[in-house]
Amino acid sequence: MAVGLHCQIRNFFTRLIHQHTAIHETKAQDSTSLRSSTTPHRIKESTMAPHTQQKKSGKAQKQTKKFIINAQQPASDKIFDVSAFEKFLQDRIKVEGRTNNLGDNVVIQQAGEGKIEIIAHNDLSGRYLKYLTKKFLKKQQLRDWLRVVSTSRGVYELKFFNVVNDEADEDDE
C-alpha cells in the first residue's frame, strides 16, 4: 500500500512539473512576441527618440586622454614629494583590472616642477586619478591640509584648504 501511494505522489509531481514547464514555455513565447511587436499604442512615434544603429567594429577605438595633476604649490613648500607620487601612480593605476600593467597604454611623467602628466591610450577616467590622488594624500597624512580640485577638463590641482586663523580673531577682541 505504501508503494502504491509513493507511485501516486511521484506521478502527481511529474504531471505538475510538466504543466509548470509548459506554462513557462508559452509565457516565454508570448513575451518574445510582445517584444517583437512595434511601439505600444499609448506612445506616439513622434515623441520617441529616433532610433539610430551604432556601428559595431571588431575593435574598440583607442582614445588618447591627457591628464595633468598640478602640485606646484605644495611641492614648492616642500610638503609634497612629486617623485613619490609619480611612483605611487605607476604602482597603483590599473589597466584591464591589473596593477603594474601600464605598458604603452599609460605614460606617467613629470612635466615641469610639481606637475605630473598622464597620457592614456585607453579608457582612463579623471575621477579614478582624483581617487588615487586622494588615496596618496591620505597615506602621506596630507588629506587634512590639501584637496584635489579640477580647474579645467583633464587638469587637477592640489590646493591648500582655506584655514581661518582663530588666534588672530581672538587677539582682535
Please state, rounded to an integer, the average pLDDT across all residues of the chain.
Answer: 80
The residue range of the domain holding 100 is 65-160
For the beta sheet containing 65-70, the strands, ordered from the edge strand earlier in sequence to the opposite edge, are 106-110, 115-120, 65-70, 155-160, 146-152
pLDDT per residue as tens digits for the range 150-170: 999 999 999 998 877 766 555
In this structure, are 23 and 71 located in the same domain?
Answer: no
Closest among 160, 85, 79, 77 to 115, alpha carbons compared: 85
109 and 153 together in one domain = yes
User: For residue 75, what is the domain's CATH number?
Assistant: 3.30.1360.210
Question: Are residue 139 and residue 72 in the same domain, yes or no?
Answer: yes
Q: Would 69 be classed as within a structural domain?
A: yes
In a domain, 151, yes or no: yes
Predicted TM-score (pTM) of this structure:
0.59
Give a yes or no: residue 170 inside a domain: no
One domain, residues 7 and 69: no
Does residue 129 lie within any of the structural domains?
yes
What pLDDT is recorded for position 56? 53
pLDDT digits (tens, 9 = 90+) for 27-75: 666 655 555 555 455 545 555 555 555 555 555 566 899 999 999 999 9
Residue 92 in domain: yes
149 belongs to a structural domain: yes
Residue 137 lies in a domain: yes
Number of domains in the chain: 2
Same domain, residue pair 72 and 28: no
Q: Which cell is 172 given? A: 582682535
φ, ψ of residue 163 in degrees (nearest 5): -100, 125
C-alpha cell at 51: 532610433
Residues 151 and 76 in one domain: yes
28 and 88 both lie in a single domain? no
23 alpha-carbon distance from chain centroid: 41
Between 47-51, 85-89, 93-97, the lowest mean confidence (pLDDT) is in 47-51
